[in-house]
Amino acid sequence: MQGNPQATRAVGAQNSPRVTGQPAVQGNPQAARPRAHPNMQQSAQNTPAVQPAAQNNQAPQPARQNPQQPTHNTPAEQRQLARVARETTRENPWPLSLLSKNIKQYVDRMSPLWIEGQVVQLNERPATKMSFLTIRDVNEDISMDVTTFGGVLQASGGAVQAGTRVVAYVKPSFWTRSGRLNLQAQEIHPVGIGDLLAQIELLRKRLQAEGLFDPARKKPLPFLPRTIGLICGRNAKAKDDVLVNATARWPGAQFEVREVLVQGPGAAPGVSQAIAELDALEHVDVIIIARGGGSVEDLLPFSDESMVRAAAAAHKPIVSAIGHEGDAPLLDLVADVRASTPTDAARRVVPDLAEENRNLARTVTTMRLRVEERIVREREYLELLRSHPVLKTPTGSLQMHEKVLDQLTQSMRHAVSTRISRERQGLSATTATLRAMSPQATLERGYAIIKAPGIGVLKDVRDVKKGDILEAVLARGSMITTVFGTRPPEDPDSDTPPDTAPQQEP
């Protein structure tokens, strides 16, 4: 293999010479950075010569003053054609043959280069020793026709087939009659599986360093998902394996199926889009990606970085069932569960109804035995408690306390009665004393209490004078009196006897 397919993925210089009858600049195709697949649209972007005259800064000048008689009615060999494409006008256009020849001259000046892609169609014609291929870009939906001569394909030993990823050394060629761009292949080589596996290994290490394969990121599968998302090929056997086995295990299983390409260039974007769609559905609880195995090259899309990152970004658990036991694409490492086959995936995502019924029956039987054993054990313990004397005669231990309680009750009652009698006697004595010392008792003995208005109880006769009205309070009732006279108190220190003391007239 010549060249570096990673460095040369296309053809065509970025600064292309104008498409004219006599190009002034030859260009340098070797110095240009090619793209994966040359096409005339991109070349035309850098070739302003082939464009309508209305795009020029100056309006086209008609060759005649009368627009009703255009010059293109004059044969081309009898009129002066535009030198370059931008000088063409409606009245002076190029013949299509001239444009086709100029394009061919431009394409023929392009250098041979290496391209990379996948063979999607192969038609060999042994009689003419020619082969016609259609090669598609690995990452984008772009394809071109390739023609080989002689034993170019035979040199690969039959390794180049439809679906094979190849690198080819080609020379662009333009067919003037049909206006078709074709690639003439001088060498075609299948891309080595070892090189691809090495690239996958580098990708695996990079993704592992980012933590995408960390077991802590793995999401557990639900015991019984409401709806199972299934991504598989169109009318694929893997689809039937999952549906049939899952329904056989759990008849009520519901599915949301997305049929996409699971091989070739469209597999990675198709599966990634299906993952995003199913992950956005609320009723989908788990997603299965199923494919019934295949060669290492068939499973290469499942190591695509975009697909691996789409699976890692999903919020629902992902079950990878795309290969057999020995296959190890990167999707298996990032998936939450890796199933060996689509049948194994169906077994993992739904429980077995018959097995669950058996487990339920065993559980019920075990629970009944445990309950019966507990009842027997508790009954024996109850009989043991009932055999104790305290339980046979529960009031036996209370009889002695009952007698003590009666004695204490009688003692308390006697003490209370004695205390009440003593207190009653003391109360009677205190009452008699209070009564004897009370003013009422004094009044009962014939005494009276004299009150004067504004003074109250009189204690000194000097507080009143003749003519004052007084109130006399007796033991029973009161009366109003008038002072007719007073007698001052006797002075114990005076030598005058009481009878000789002066008196005040009444």
- What does pTM read for this prediction? 0.46
C-alpha torsion angle, residues 200, 202, 203, 209 (rounded to 10)? 140
Query: pLDDT value at position 463?
Result: 85
Q: Encode pLDDT of 237-250 as tens digits.
A: 999 999 999 999 99
Distances (CA, A) of 413 to 311, 401, 407, 410, 426: 93, 18, 10, 5, 20
User: pLDDT-derived band of residue 352, with 50, 70 and 90 as boundaries?
Assistant: very high
Query: pLDDT value at position 170?
Result: 94
Matching residue, tokens 């082969």: 131
Residue 51 has pLDDT above 60, yes or no: no
Nearest alpha carbon to residue 232 among 274, 269, 265, 284: 274
Nearest alpha carbon to residue 260 among 298, 289, 287, 233: 233
Q: What is the mean pLDDT of residues 338-343?
A: 90
Residue scoring higher pLDDT (377 or 128): 377
The mean pLDDT of the chain is 79
Residue scoring higher pLDDT (314 or 154): 314
Query: pLDDT value at position 410?
Result: 93
Residue 504 has pLDDT above 50, yes or no: no
Query: pLDDT value at position 495?
Result: 53
Q: What is the mean pLDDT of residues 286-304?
A: 84
Query: pLDDT value at position 149?
Result: 84
Residue 501 has pLDDT above 90, yes or no: no
Q: Encode pLDDT of 130-142 as tens digits.
A: 889 988 887 777 8
Distance between CA atoms of 342 and 292, rounded to whole angstroms? 7
User: pLDDT-derived band of residue 252, with 50, 70 and 90 as boundaries?
Assistant: very high
Residue 78 has pLDDT above 70, yes or no: no
> What share of the chain has pLDDT > 90, as a percent?
41
Residue 448 has pLDDT above 70, yes or no: yes
Q: Encode pLDDT of 182-218 as tens digits.
A: 999 999 988 766 566 677 888 999 999 999 999 999 9
Element housing 147 (H / E): strand 143-149
Residue 38 has pLDDT above 60, yes or no: no
- Highest mean pLDDT among 46-50, 194-198, 263-267 belongs to 263-267
Structure-token pair, residue 202: 């580098």
Single-letter amino acid code for the residue at 244: V
> What share of the chain has pLDDT > 70, as a percent?
79
User: pLDDT-derived band of residue 327, with 50, 70 and 90 as boundaries?
Assistant: low
**Radius of gyration over every alpha carbon of the chain, rounded to an integer in angstroms:** 62
Distance between CA atoms of 360 and 350, rounded to whole angstroms? 16
Residue 455 has pLDDT above 50, yes or no: yes
Q: Encode pLDDT of 59-77 as tens digits.
A: 344 444 344 444 445 565 6
Residue 361 has pLDDT above 90, yes or no: yes
